[in-house]
Amino acid sequence: MPRDYKQQLDDIIQAITFIREYVKDMDYKAFEADRKTQHAVIHNLEVIGEAARSMPDEVKDNAAEIEWYKIIALRNILIHEYFGVNLKIVWDVVRNKLDALESTCRKLL
């Protein structure tokens, strides 16, 4: 039975909350040196990407300001090219993209 899109939005919001917890007192240098935090953040970005991938198109169409295809593409890179992950891109997403995504997800609920 497919999950309701609201559950997927909740998954995204929860993953963002976890990521913020993990990096709250970090700068990039500390993040780059902390493999446990890297793995935890990457896992939650994968969760976000999977939820976005499974989200019905009509829901995504109602939030066209979010570049859903980029979220899904990042998920694919993280899952299939783990050893080739660019931590600078991950850090940029964490610091510059999650606020807008969370705000939009909350509006869609």
Q: Which residues are catalytic?
A: 75, 80
Side-chain-side CA neighbours of 93 within 13 Å: the count stands at: 26
Q: Which amino acid is at 108?
A: L
Residue the block writes with tokens 């909740």 = 10
Q: Which of 37, 32, 2 is nearest to 18 (CA)?
A: 37
